[in-house]
Chains A and B, each alone.
Chain A
Amino acid sequence: MNARSPSSLASERPSPAPSAAGVLKAPPHLASTFIGWSFVLPFLVALSMFVLAPTAAVIAISFTDWQLGRDTISFVGLENYRALLTARVPRISAANTIIYALMVTPLSVILGLWLAILIESSPMGRAFFRSACFLPVVSTTVAMAIVWEFLLHPTLGPVNSALLLFGLPAQRFLSDAALVLPTLAFIAIWENAGYTMVLFVAGLKSISAELYDAAAVDGADRPWERFWTVTFPLLGPTMVFVVIIMLLRSFRVFETVATLTGGGPRRASEVMLYTIYQEGFQFFQIGYASAITVVFVAFLLLLTLVNFRLMDRSVHYK
């Protein structure tokens, strides 16, 4: 915050004189400083209470052996981090999360972009298709997960009935170790595509129609040429945002895992957030869970920064 300019403006006035009633007022520059702070303070309080303090607490706790419900706490140094390096579950969990994110992010982005272009180029029903695609985003993930559980049920689910109808073998989507991650990824893509679609629609709308005209006159008028000459490059800034949001969202996957698989079968759908939740709130190893959290957050931060740097270079902003 820079309170200097208002205060310097105010200090040009003559020094404060006692008012007629004889009551001394605060000097004007103090008053404007106070006003400045009073605007910023609520945000600073909320930021420290809900972001900075908990982050600091988690980092601090990660160096202790604290267990949920225990009165004693002692400093163990890097012990939790050492345990993390050698433990099996966090490693499986990290691998699963990365595989899951690598499936979900690109497909959500491509599907959302495809839907956005399709909807924007359709002569009618745009509002309907937009809302229809956006519905999964506004519905509660847990509720949707339960619907998916029914749809994918090995014996009762309509998906398997459809497979049987076409003479294909029924699948145990959520209890087959080879299928469970792709199935969860599919549900996430179904949910995310509406979100990325809405962002891409906004991006598409900001592209000037004259650019497409110019491209048509210059000879780039086939759909694919229009896409590569105008649409894709001009969606660059949107693309950076969408990719980063989708990466973070897919790294944060929790609801579907907790509702549908509980990390199973045989840890095939164990993901980072679920591991942290289990270690912390089911096994009460808060110190250990905090250490995993710190590593996880640091990784996400690094990923976002690298991403920004890489994509920023090839993107033009107006």
Chain B
Amino acid sequence: MAHIQIQDLNKSFGDTSVLRGIDLSIHEGEFLAILGPSGCGKSTLLRIIAGLETHDSGHVRMGGSIMDGLAPKARDVAVVFQSYALYPHMTVAQNLALPLVMRETTRVQRLPFMGHISSVVKRKRVDIQSAVERAAAQVRIAELLDRKPAQLSGGQRQRVALARALIRKPKLFLLDEPLSNLDATLRASTRTEIVQLQKRLGTTAIYVTHDQTEAMTMADRIAIMIDGRVAQVGTAREIYDRPKDVHAALFVGTPKMNLFDGRIDGGVVRLAKTGMVLAHTADAIDGPIRVGIRPEHVVLKTEFDEGAIPVVETHREFLGSEALIHFGIGGGAPDISGVARLDPDALDKLAPGQTVSACFRPGGLHLFDQSGLRLELSGENLSPAATTALSDKETALDERPIPIIAGI
């Protein structure tokens, strides 16, 4: 259990700069997910924290002390690797025992037959044996101790890897996409199990993944990494509701946030293509911007209100609990496209190919400047079209039954 602090960490492989000034602080006992697309440097960051890779500059602190340059075994961390990295020639019990054997016995004590000669070694071996049994019981693999990894299923191997990590009660767990080799059902149940285990042990954990569902469901906080930088750190809610930059906004949420070109002219925020007025602001910043809106904040209606955009449905997806309508704006060959999330019942009220009106829910707008950073505007950050259109029909977000056609 430790408080981890990463300070201005840089790393490059040859000419490729992989990590550029990472600053990150992980509280004691926290479960932090590092979420990012492949190649963003998240695994390298994990390897640097583990001591498996050296960094060029910056510091890694663990519980106050600097870890830079220390060998992995001196850091008291445990890693669960993507491929599990179990020793294939050893039984499960031997796999679990190895970290303890290497740590608690000397080279001489590790020699064969020492258990018969020295009572100290004998006692240590008994202790290790009972630790192995305890760890195996914690992840429910007690009956597999005599098997070799090749005789185990993917899920069982994963448990062995977890047990090997927790057996010596490390200060920090590092998990590198540990669920990516499991099938969907197993992944969902293992997710909960890992979180419960981590909370029970109270050990700080860093979990690297490219899967936003894993990050959002498991972690206390998420660090979004893009191109070797931390784009945003926060709870799943914070990141989803107030993405700090356009990459974080696009990376979190399925389907992706809709992104349109917009501009601000004298305090009026408009869609660049149609000139539709989206919001008013008191801030005097003019120029092109990007406008983001999550699919559930797009409202489709059959009636046309003033200010609403006429859109044509191009494709629909029924997903059971929700439905997605892909739409295009701008006549025959739509050059702006977007997605709306609807109640599945609303699908019936909408004929395929029909032209409908789209407006945006209040508070659903995300504005980003040209460099991709979030713009926080003072004043009414509201879609006037949406306010007028919604005022009489729906006011609260959780009002599911909507008269005509509506989002969630």
Q: Is the CB of A214 within 8 A of B85?
A: yes
- The count of chain B contact residues (Cβ–Cβ below 8 Å) is 26
Which listed segment binds B: A18-26, A43-51, A75-83, A205-213?
A: A205-213
Is residue A230 contacting chain B, with contact meaning CB distance below 8 A? yes
Measured CB to CB, the closest approach of chain A to B36, in angstroms, equals 20
Q: Is the CB of B73 within 8 A of A221?
A: yes
Residues 59-99 of B at the A interface (beta carbon under 8 Å): 71-73, 77-79, 81-83, 85-90, 98-99
If the complex has contacts A211-B87, A318-B150, are A216 and B52 also in contact, measured as CB distance less than 8 A?
Answer: yes
Residue of B83, B85, B150 touching A316 (CB-CB under 8 A): B150
Residue of B72, B77, B98 touching A221 (CB-CB under 8 A): B72
Measured CB to CB, the closest approach of chain A to B244, in angstroms, equals 33
B73 partner residues in chain A, CB cutoff 8 A: 216-219, 221
Is residue A229 contacting chain B, with contact meaning CB distance below 8 A? yes
Closest to B82 in A: A210
Q: Is the CB of B52 within 8 A of A208?
A: no
B-contact bits for A219-235, CB 8 A (1 contact / 0 none): 11100010001100110
Closest to A213 in B: B52
Residues 228-267 of A at the B interface (beta carbon under 8 Å): 229-230, 233-234, 236
Q: Is the CB of B71 within 8 A of A216?
A: yes
Distance between Cα atoms of A159 and B87 in the complex (Å): 47
Residue of A213, A218, A234, A316 touching B98 (CB-CB under 8 A): A218
Is residue B148 contacting chain A, with contact meaning CB distance below 8 A? yes
A215 partner residues in chain B, CB cutoff 8 A: 87
Distance between Cα atoms of A211 and B98 in the complex (Å): 13
Distance between Cα atoms of A185 and B99 in the complex (Å): 43
B52 partner residues in chain A, CB cutoff 8 A: 213, 216-217
Q: Is the CB of A213 within 8 A of B83?
A: no
Q: Is the CB of B89 within 8 A of A236?
A: yes
Q: Is the CB of A214 within 8 A of B81?
A: yes
- The count of chain A contact residues (Cβ–Cβ below 8 Å) is 20
B98 partner residues in chain A, CB cutoff 8 A: 218-220, 229
If the complex has contacts A218-B102, A234-B88, are A316 and B79 also in contact, measured as CB distance less than 8 A?
Answer: no
A210 partner residues in chain B, CB cutoff 8 A: 81-83, 85
Distance between Cα atoms of A230 and B83 in the complex (Å): 15
B121 partner residues in chain A, CB cutoff 8 A: none
Is residue B50 contacting chain A, with contact meaning CB distance below 8 A? yes
Measured CB to CB, the closest approach of chain A to B93, in angstroms, equals 14
Q: Is the CB of A316 within 8 A of B81?
A: no
Interface of A is mostly: helix
Q: Is the CB of B99 within 8 A of A218?
A: yes
Q: Is the CB of A316 within 8 A of B88?
A: yes
A-contact bits for B174-195, CB 8 A (1 contact / 0 none): 0000000000000000000000
If the complex has contacts A213-B52, A316-B148, A318-B150, are A219 and B102 also in contact, measured as CB distance less than 8 A?
Answer: yes
Distance between Cα atoms of A216 and B47 in the complex (Å): 12
Distance between Cα atoms of A316 and B94 in the complex (Å): 14
B79 partner residues in chain A, CB cutoff 8 A: 213-214, 217
Closest to B79 in A: A217
B-contact bits for A87-112, CB 8 A (1 contact / 0 none): 00000000000000000000000000
Residue of A216, A220, A225, A233 touching B89 (CB-CB under 8 A): A233
Q: Is the CB of B88 within 8 A of A217?
A: no
Is residue B116 contacting chain A, with contact meaning CB distance below 8 A? no
Measured CB to CB, the closest approach of chain B to A214, in angstroms, equals 4
Measured CB to CB, the closest approach of chain A to B347, in angstroms, equals 46
Q: Is the CB of B85 within 8 A of A221?
A: no
Closest to A218 in B: B99
Q: Is the CB of A217 within 8 A of B72?
A: yes
Distance between Cα atoms of A236 and B47 in the complex (Å): 29
If the complex has contacts A217-B78, A219-B103, are A208 and B71 also in contact, measured as CB distance less than 8 A?
Answer: no
Q: For A213, A214, A225, which residue has the most chain B Cβ atoms within 10 angstroms?
A: A214
Q: Is the CB of B87 within 8 A of A217?
A: no
Q: Is the CB of B81 within 8 A of A213?
A: yes
Residue of B85, B99, B164 touching A213 (CB-CB under 8 A): B85
Distance between Cα atoms of A3 and B79 in the complex (Å): 51
B86 partner residues in chain A, CB cutoff 8 A: 214
B81 partner residues in chain A, CB cutoff 8 A: 210, 213-214
Residues 345-398 of B at the A interface (beta carbon under 8 Å): none
Q: Is the CB of A217 within 8 A of B150?
A: no
A-contact bits for B277-316, CB 8 A (1 contact / 0 none): 0000000000000000000000000000000000000000
Distance between Cα atoms of A248 and B130 in the complex (Å): 47
Q: Is the CB of A230 within 8 A of B87?
A: yes
Closest to A225 in B: B102
Distance between Cα atoms of A219 and B78 in the complex (Å): 10
Measured CB to CB, the closest approach of chain A to B296, in angstroms, equals 40
B88 partner residues in chain A, CB cutoff 8 A: 233-234, 316, 318
Closest to B73 in A: A219
Measured CB to CB, the closest approach of chain B to A228, in angstroms, equals 10
Distance between Cα atoms of A316 and B72 in the complex (Å): 28
Residue of A214, A217, A229 touching B77 (CB-CB under 8 A): A217
Measured CB to CB, the closest approach of chain B to A203, in angstroms, equals 14
Measured CB to CB, the closest approach of chain A to B57, in angstroms, equals 23
Q: Is the CB of A220 within 8 A of B85?
A: no
Q: Is the CB of A217 within 8 A of B89?
A: no
Q: Is the CB of A217 within 8 A of B148?
A: no
Closest to A219 in B: B102
Measured CB to CB, the closest approach of chain B to A240, in angstroms, equals 13
A-contact bits for B30-47, CB 8 A (1 contact / 0 none): 000000000000000001
Besides A213-B85, A216-B72, A318-B150, 9 more A-B contacts (Cβ < 8 Å) are A211-B85, A211-B87, A213-B72, A217-B73, A217-B77, A217-B79, A225-B102, A233-B87, A233-B89
Task: Provide 6 A-B residue pairs closer than 8 Å at the C-beta atoms, listed in order of the A residue.
Answer: A213-B50, A214-B87, A217-B73, A221-B72, A230-B87, A316-B148
- Top 6 closest pairs, chain A to chain B, by CB: A219-B102, A214-B85, A233-B89, A210-B85, A218-B99, A219-B73
